Amino acid sequence: MALSNDGKTLYWKALTGKTMYRISTEALQKASQDPSAAKPEKYADTEPTDGLWIDDQNRIYLSTMQNNSIKILSSDGKVTPLLEDSRLRWPDTFAQGPDGAIYITASHIQDSPWFHQGWTDDTFTLFKFAPPK
Q: Are residues 31 and 25 in contact, defined by beta-carbon separation less than 8 angstroms?
A: no
Asked if 30 contacts 3 with a C-beta cutoff of 8 angstroms, the reply is no
pLDDT one-digit tens code per residue, 42-87: 999 999 999 999 998 899 999 998 899 999 999 888 999 999 998 8
User: Which pLDDT value is given to residue 86?
Assistant: 87
Q: Report pTM.
A: 0.87
Indicate the pLDDT class of residue 121, thresholds 50, 70 and 90. Answer: low
Give the mean pLDDT of 116-121.
Answer: 64
- The CATH class for the domain spanning 2-129 reads mainly beta
Domain range list for the chain? 2-129
Instruction: Judge residue 79's burial from the number of C-beta atoms within 10 Å of its C-beta, 0-12 exposed, 13-18 middle, 19 or more buried.
Output: middle
Residue type, 104: I
How would residue 125 be classed by pLDDT, with cut points 50, 70 and 90?
confident
Q: What is the pLDDT of residue 87?
A: 86
Contact 42/21 with Cβ under 8 angstroms?
yes
Q: How close are the terminal C-alpha atoms of the chain, in Å? A: 24
CA distance 126 to 103: 7
